[in-house]
Chain A
């Protein structure tokens, strides 16, 4: 398989009032095209920092990140981000929020009608046709997050980056959106990197789970390959011994090998 995203010897240091803070060190990871990667770890382990590095929102202190052999030097629409708190613009309707992205990416070569068609298609993909004309404050948290996903997908990004996209949702809504996301990723063959702290979510969705050690100076602890056939069904998987083993492996990493979380989080 070709190397799509390459992360080579990446480290990230922040300047704080108390001096230098090493958030990440020695990160090496190669992501294949079409792969679904979950980044998991305790809070404060730098998962989001790593995601921001791939997004180009921050630049690494050491090392280099490549996308299709070209250095990531800043943020760009080919690496769309679904933010943790949806980040929809409150003064634009759902349609306008997505349209803003579509217009930016395809506005130069396509007419207005085509752009609107793309926007409508993206909103349709996440099942929100009826809420298209609504403002973000008029819809529920789960719907907002779906608009965020529609906005990201509408740009037809090379990599879809998701920062705990379902973290703020209730369990039922989360399960529903996970199922939807699985379908969308299978249909679009999107390369996806998702930050999560939900073990089930990671096992259910991912091809590989990247488990990170506790910060400061966090790095990749283990990488777990999830060889479960797709399409995956959450109900059948619940009794699947392989699924249970994967789940146990992640839990073991999080709660035995990296257990001293309270001290670090505080």
Chain B
């Protein structure tokens, strides 16, 4: 089940695979203790061979080397492209600017001039609120749609119609309804996060193995027991996938939404620096947005792994 959740992970694919390899084999799992014991006795008398350490090192190298190399190539390309000067600053210039910028990330000079730390935090706060509301509404809705074919047939065309709409198209409606920029931006996050949550939860509910539902039928479990003991644990991996997909989109959308609404936030900050023509800062912002997005996604993958491991 955890392998299913991990579909589409790039960097972490390998270690995840290894985990699932050792896990599901029921017959194998009965004797891991024996195996490790045997390993110990095998390696102790012959430490000269030393292959385990060497193997570990090469495995580590294999995991670390390609990404590092990729990053270096990116830096080189960037350096070469900006060597002759021009409007885009090179890596060295950007690094200098970043040092100054991150020396004091939490300063406040009025509402339009705040440290990059505040900007990131307020963007994250908007994402958190919009996303939280989307989870509160979307997951139960997904459950309902997954359980009732009639409701699903009723709502699916609406979802299909609205899902491809860019969340930013909803921004004017948000501004109109809320009369303020901040809730309007949060509202666009809500809109863009809710679709993956609904769809994944509903799909998870529909894909609960018939065997489990037959158990529920033979036991004649109450609907509450069916939800807590069978549906929720079975659907959890799908919900987590939905959450992961939507946090990715939410982080994409918040930057654009803030460019339009202004205030404090990483998107607004990018636009502000563009108006000040501080191109180094824009490049720094691009890195920061990328890194924060990466951390968000990876921490959710980690959470998913921990939760599904406990439950399966």
Query: Is chain B found bound to chain A in the same assembly?
Result: yes
Shortest distance between the CB of B223 and any CB in chain A (Å) = 13
Known: A83-B211, A87-B215, A90-B311. 4 other contacts (CB 8 A): A57-B217, A76-B218, A83-B214, A139-B26
Does A141 touch B at the CB level, under 8 Å? Answer: yes
Does B230 touch A at the CB level, under 8 Å? Answer: yes
Given contacts A55-B218, A76-B220, A77-B220, contact A140 B211 (CB under 8 A): no
- Contact bitstring B19-53, A, C-beta under 8 A = 1, else 0: 00001101101100000000000000000000000
A83 to B210, CA, bound (A): 11
Does B293 touch A at the CB level, under 8 Å? Answer: no
Contacts of A90 in B (CB 8 A): 1, 311-312
**Chain B interface extent, by class:** 20 to 34
Given contacts A137-B29, A140-B30, contact A75 B218 (CB under 8 A): yes
Q: Which of B217-235 contact A (CB under 8 A)?
A: 217-221, 225, 229-230, 233-234
A25 to B121, CA, bound (A): 69
Does B212 touch A at the CB level, under 8 Å? Answer: yes
Which one, B23, B212, B214, B218, contacts A77 given CB within 8 A? B218
A89 to B208, CA, bound (A): 11
Contacts of A81 in B (CB 8 A): 214, 218
Which one, A83, A105, A140, contacts B215 given CB within 8 A? A83
Contacts of A135 in B (CB 8 A): 312
Contact indicator B212/A75 (Cβ below 8 Å): no
Contacts of A178 in B (CB 8 A): none
Contact indicator A104/B26 (Cβ below 8 Å): no
Contacts of B229 in A (CB 8 A): 89, 92, 100
Q: Which of A136-156 contact B (CB under 8 A)?
A: 136-141, 144, 155
Contacts of A38 in B (CB 8 A): none
Contact indicator B221/A104 (Cβ below 8 Å): yes
Contact indicator A104/B214 (Cβ below 8 Å): no
Given contacts A83-B211, A91-B233, contact A100 B219 (CB under 8 A): yes
Contact indicator B215/A89 (Cβ below 8 Å): yes
Which one, A75, A136, A140, contacts B217 given CB within 8 A? A75
Contact residues of A with B, CB < 8 Å? 55, 57, 74-77, 79-81, 83, 85, 87, 89-92, 100-101, 104-105, 135-141, 144, 155
Nearest residue in B to A97 (C-beta to C-beta)? Answer: B215
Contact indicator B220/A104 (Cβ below 8 Å): yes
Contacts of B211 in A (CB 8 A): 83, 85, 87
Shortest distance between the CB of B252 and any CB in chain A (Å) = 33
- The A/B interface has a contact count, at CB < 8 Å, of 69
A91 to B310, CA, bound (A): 8
Contact indicator B26/A141 (Cβ below 8 Å): yes
Shortest distance between the CB of A148 and any CB in chain B (Å) = 9
A140 to B31, CA, bound (A): 11
Shortest distance between the CB of A137 and any CB in chain B (Å) = 5
A77 to B29, CA, bound (A): 32
Contact indicator A80/B230 (Cβ below 8 Å): no
A57 to B229, CA, bound (A): 20
A and B contact pairs by CB, cutoff 8 A, 25 listed? A57-B217, A74-B217, A77-B218, A79-B218, A83-B214, A87-B214, A89-B229, A90-B312, A100-B219, A101-B219, A104-B221, A135-B312, A136-B26, A137-B23, A137-B24, A137-B26, A137-B312, A138-B26, A138-B30, A139-B26, A140-B26, A140-B27, A140-B30, A141-B27, A144-B26
Contacts of B234 in A (CB 8 A): 91
Shortest distance between the CB of B36 and any CB in chain A (Å) = 16
Contact indicator A89/B230 (Cβ below 8 Å): yes
A21 to B19, CA, bound (A): 44
Contacts of A92 in B (CB 8 A): 229
A195 to B58, CA, bound (A): 53
Contacts of B220 in A (CB 8 A): 75-77, 104
Nearest residue in A to B30 (C-beta to C-beta)? Answer: A140
Contacts of A91 in B (CB 8 A): 233-234, 311-312
A79 to B218, CA, bound (A): 7
State the 10 A-B residue pairs at the shortest beta-carbon distance, nearest first.
A91-B311, A87-B211, A91-B233, A75-B217, A75-B218, A104-B219, A81-B218, A90-B312, A138-B29, A140-B27
- Contact bitstring B261-294, A, C-beta under 8 A = 1, else 0: 0000000000000000000000000000000000
A91 to B1, CA, bound (A): 11
